[in-house]
A and B are shown apart, each in its own frame.
Chain A
Amino acid sequence: MFDNIKWLISPDLNQESEENEIVVSTRIRVARNIEGIPFEIKMKNQDAEKLVQVVKSAIEMNFKGKYLDLQKMKPLEKESLFESHLISPAIIKKEQPTAVFINEKGNITIMVNEEDHLRIQGLSCGLNLTNIASAVYEFEEILGQELGYAYNENYGFITSCPTNLGTGLRASVLFHLPGLVYTNEIDKILKSTLNLGMTVRGLYGEGTEIKGNLFQISNQHTLGFKEDELIEKINKFARMLIDLEKKARDAIIERARYELEDKIYRSIAILRSARLINSDEVLNLLSAVRLGIGLGIIKGIEVNILNEIMLITRPGNIQLYYGEILEEQERDLKRAEYIRNRLAKIETTTV
């Protein structure tokens, strides 16, 4: 189960930079279909079986990693993959043969037989669009030569839904924006993102609520631009948003420093001592501590630890961690226990 979350707690990115506290993670996904195999709405079981086998041999001839048959997987294991952002809810719901490939590093996944034949995805902690895009397209290119993608001269790569035509590219960045939320500027910001051709979602993408001051921003359209132009545009937007967030935080420190410190100190105290914590509360408490780290108010703890706690305390992951099925209150109990233990060994100092 730790394998599932290692992409987010990698020490690769600079932990000291406030930018990597404000930007939690980056995700790039590319959708492709294979010429000669029906798309989702016309796919029969034998087509799905063929798709899974064909992709399996294409991947095994070129890449190292795990190729997992989702039909054979236990529900909790699938839940864990979803909570760790490796697969989507859509693929879990399917009753046909489906699979997911995960590379050794654990940061590239390829879903097979979701809305499209292939969903190649790259993940990274912090703001890392260019590198992740390179990694994803390396896989995309090699698989393209093995498989033969459905492609149209005018409309680019052919996807199941017209909303993904062209590049089939969705680039998302997950931001932590407590400053803009507390100064009430967040609504204005979110409206302007819509005008820039981007959407805003909660932590797990489409259909999820905003929690823990976490906002996932991604491009709306997939047709009519070059891939690196889009990456550049989102990078620029991210830097602008980071700047606005920093300014909002400065304003709060000026106006309400003690209230802010109080909130942050209380949050870490609760995490260290509570007996019962539900998954929503974790996100809110982690947000305050994360802000404390970003502002330099809390020292001695890295953002990586918060990322680890955020993912391990998800409902499915916490059960896998303890190796048993747990009811809701038992989960709240074990979740609190896990967090207390994790933080016990870490000495934080408050300024």
Chain B
Amino acid sequence: MLCDDCKKKPASIFFKDVSGGQIKEVHLCEDCARKKGILSEKKLSPLEVLQKLLKNTSYEDERVICPICFLNLAEFKKLGRFGCANCLNVFEPYIKSMIKEVQNSERHIGKRAKPGGRRAIEVFRLREELRRALEKEAYEDAAQIRDKLKTLGVENV
């Protein structure tokens, strides 16, 4: 069934109009319904909301810089992405309300990060050290590093 208004697109909105004193069946497509104010604004996805809000830039944005990765607020607004974990801390006051609109919420109440031993990072670091020690032929150092790795539970050193 085609739209009563534009007669081009398929009608997907059906309702009864009683304004003329009589009951009339109306069939409209989404676009005409929206133009007539019958349908509310098309719902945007969180990503679309984000992109819309990030267009709100200012010259000072370039001066707000993350000291760890050197991403600035202007770049963040252009890309819509953080450069590192610290960016959020630096940009928070400027993007707080944007996050609230994108996520429909402003606070995390779910699972929390548990403090961990970060064993894998330590293992990686020690393996690098071991490689450098072997290159330098510092075999005593290498043996010590190998022991440390063993205590961390690494079998295949």
Q: Do A and B make up one complex?
A: yes
Q: Is B64 an interface residue (CB 8 A)?
A: no
Q: Is B110 an interface residue (CB 8 A)?
A: yes
A222 smallest CB distance to B (angstroms): 7
Contact present for B85 and A223 (CB under 8 Å): no
CB-CB under 8 A for A163 and B50, given A61-B120, A220-B45, A224-B103:
yes
Interface of B (DSSP majority class): loop
The residue of chain A having its C-beta at the shortest distance from the C-beta of B156 within the complex is A60
Q: Is A152 an interface residue (CB 8 A)?
A: yes
Contact present for B116 and A223 (CB under 8 Å): no
Interface size class of chain B, counting residues whose CB lies under 8 Å from the partner chain? 35 or more
The residue of chain A having its C-beta at the shortest distance from the C-beta of B110 within the complex is A167
Cα A167 to Cα B88 in complex, Å, equals 15
Contact present for B119 and A158 (CB under 8 Å): no
CB-CB under 8 A for A158 and B123, given A223-B105, A224-B105:
no
The residue of chain B having its C-beta at the shortest distance from the C-beta of A152 within the complex is B88
Fill in one digit per residue for A107-139: 1 if any B CB lies within 8 Å of its CB, else 0: 000000000000000000000000000000100
Q: Is A53 an interface residue (CB 8 A)?
A: yes
Cα A167 to Cα B107 in complex, Å, equals 11
Cα A152 to Cα B108 in complex, Å, equals 9
- Using CB atoms and an 8 Å cutoff, list the residues of chain B in contact with chain A: 12, 43, 45-47, 50, 69, 71, 79-85, 87-89, 92, 95, 98-99, 102-114, 116-121, 123-124, 127, 153-154
Interface size class of chain A, counting residues whose CB lies under 8 Å from the partner chain? 35 or more
19 new A-B contacts at CB < 8 Å, known A41-B82, A223-B107: A33-B85, A36-B121, A38-B83, A39-B81, A42-B69, A42-B71, A50-B124, A61-B123, A154-B106, A155-B88, A155-B99, A156-B112, A161-B50, A161-B80, A165-B99, A197-B104, A223-B108, A224-B105, A224-B107
